[in-house]
Amino acid sequence: MTQAEFTIIGILKQKSTHAYQIEKQLQKENLKDKVDLAFSSIYNILKKMLRKKLVTSHLEKNNKLPDRKVYEVTDLGDQKFTEYLQQHLSLPRTIKSSFELCLHFSNFITVVELKNALTTYEAELNRMIQKQVQQITKLKTNDPITRALYNRSLRLWQAEKQWLKELIIMI
């Protein structure tokens, strides 16, 4: 199961719905930052999921508008979702990073260019940290998982910022 399929099934497990509503839920639940899932690809992914029997669909009347195709999770889709969820919550993973790949080859630019790039990166980290602090302050939920997700990102960025400062000093 792909990350995109997992995300779509997670949304469909909340409520059977049509593709446009899946896009709206991605935005509403702030999942766009966590998964690379463009609106235009949702339909193709749903078609693949139908072929894999992870979801089913049926047409639903929509007043004077054309009928809409509504998707729902199958038992197989539910099983694969649970397996993916348990597997990815159980084992830490290395995140593939363009930043780390470029840092590996940074010997092909000057030290000044490298420091300039890293300083720009640090400024962007600062912006992200400030934005996340604002979002945490505005959270209107006491749900511990939601709060933990926001705090996890904040803490990771803060740790990365500290690591980055140390790297710039070493260079």
Ordered mean pLDDT values, 10 residues apiece, the chain (171 residues): 95 94 91 85 95 96 86 98 95 85 95 96 96 91 90 95 95 92
Q: How far apart are CA 53 and CA 146, in angstroms?
A: 31
pLDDT of residue 93: 81
Q: How far apart are CA 171 and CA 156, in angstroms?
A: 22
Give the angle subtended at the CA of 39 by the CAs of 90 and 149, to the nearest 5°: 35
Phi and psi for 139 in degrees, rounded to 5?
Answer: -60, 135
* 126 CB-near residues (< 8 Å, 6+ apart): 161
Q: What is the CA radius of gyration of the chain?
A: 21
Q: Please give the pLDDT value at position 39.
A: 85
Range list of β-strands (E), 23-164: 55-62, 65-73
